[in-house]
Structure 1
């Protein structure tokens, strides 16, 4: 039965990591409803690793170009605009990751305690819904990325470590609010998640080594991660279509409903 729960949460993680409805919020709620006591935050980290694999698969062409740009000369980049763009994206990813590094290093323990407060999750879901609805009021941006925009988008990503605040939703919204073309903002949001996810895994590596998982827990992580890879890939495809059509507010209404249902469930469950 625990394996089925792990698969369900893996699917939830994959779908909600990229759809702007908060993966952490759904995992907190799902764990509560399923009464699934996973191996701490390590379970969530492994599910995030599954979605990282989905990003690599979906954007392998972009990532190959970015890796090639790292080993290119300045003369080569000047002669090839696409190679130069890929090199700049490497720089922007580094800048966007810095806020998350600061949060991960200095606020890690405080944030883990927040995950125990489900009311924070419901509140942040409502906030996610609000910014998604606001996207309908934003002018259609035509701009590209820059260093300052990358830092601001990265700050939004760092804030989205709060349960219930969608990482993809907050970063795409911030990019659009800064005038970045919306498809570019979405693509950057996906790719910039790679170092953030890897960083979270590294931070938890010490905990995993000091508290080895049982065989049953290891299998739960494996099947949950596999489920998140598959569902995450399809979520990316869906969201890119939604972004192109300017329909992000649909997810905002969903977040409002889930937040309201959550508050009602919390306050009336003991009645």
Structure 2
């Protein structure tokens, strides 16, 4: 890869991982719309490490409290709000793991076309608009129930379809269940941690099997750029949706989906 490709892909990954506009769609589309070849598995791993570092750093205080309380709940010391939230994150991760293991190859090989991305962007963008305008409530992530966590987890499994957006579909489901914009986004970001860890772990196993030589300096730069852009994205996104809402992202999804239909139909 040349350095322009490294910079563009790293920033695109960092920004779109947590915005409700589909990171997988953008990482598929950027090479498709340029002369760039596939960035390779090692670089994908590095970008995921950058995004993971950003969300862990941003929510470090909450994660420490959740980990301590969750460990206490396992030791029989009761379940406080932080332990309950940790359990909900764990339970919400199960559906996407099961679906991913069962259909990973079929999704990776048969659903990466620009037309599928376009329909995903448009359909789930309209659903996000409906949820934000008609069903938004005031509950935060600490007021979720077991039913809420499982339903949001089931929605997260749909994100395996390119164009859906993991953050977009989980925020949509949370809004439909009466959560506030900030609460929905924060729970979505916390849910991303085990998902990124598991997805990155699968990519690492593939990298080990391939036994390919890697350029560590390029990977480090990619991880840093991805992490910095992801951290800034989380910070400004939470402030933005509190004041403005989800509709600008809906408009972007509809325009991008329409452009892809016009380009590839």
Confirm or deny a common fold (TM above 0.5). yes
**1:162 aligned partner:** 161
Displacement after TM superposition at 1:221 (Å): 3.2
Q: Mapping of 1:179-258 within 5 angstroms?
A: 179-216=178-215, 218-258=216-256
State whether residues 70 and 84 of structure 2, in contact with CA within 8 Å, keep that contact through their aligned partners in structure 1: no
Matches within 5 A, 1:118-137: 118-137=114-133
Where does the alignment leave 5 or more consecutive residues of structure 2 unmatched?
none
Give matches, 1:1-271, under 5 Å.
Answer: 2-40=2-40, 43-72=43-72, 77=78, 84-143=80-139, 144-216=143-215, 218-267=216-265
Verify the 8 A CA contact 1:21 1:128 in the aligned structure 2: no
Q: Distance in 2 between matches of 1:244 and 1:33?
A: 34
Q: Is the 8 A contact 1:183 1:240 kept in 2?
A: yes
Equivalents in 2 of 1:111, 1:226: separation in Å?
A: 29
The change in CA–CA distance for 1:210 and 1:176 in structure 2 (over 3 A counts) is same
Distance 1:34 1:51 in 2: 24
Counterpart-to-counterpart distance in 2, 1:201 and 1:226: 16
Q: What is aligned with 1:81? A: none
Cα deviation, residue 246, structure 1? 4.9
Could you tell me how far 1:234 is from its partner in structure 2?
0.8
Asked whether the 8 Å contact 1:10–1:227 carries over to 2, the reply is: yes
- Distance across 2 between alignment mates of 1:221 and 1:255: 30
Q: Secondary structure at the match of 1:190?
A: helix
Taking the aligned partners of 2:91 and 2:76, their CA distance within structure 1 comes to: 24
**What is the distance in 1 between the residues matched to 2:153 and 2:166?**
10
Q: How far apart, in 1, do the equivalents of 2:261 and 2:227 lie?
A: 31
Q: Does 137-146 or 93-102 show the bigger shift?
A: 137-146
User: Which residues of structure 1 form unaligned runs of 5+?
Assistant: 79-83
1: CA distance between counterparts of 2:132 and 2:85? 27
Give the whole-Å Cα distance in 1 for the aligned partners of 2:46 and 2:155: 22
SS at match of 2:36: coil
For residues 74-124 of structure 1, give each alpha carbon's deviation from its aligned partner in whole angstroms, at most 9, with x where no partner exists: 78657xxxxx11100111011100001101211110111135422111111
Decide which moves more: 31-40 or 21-30. 31-40
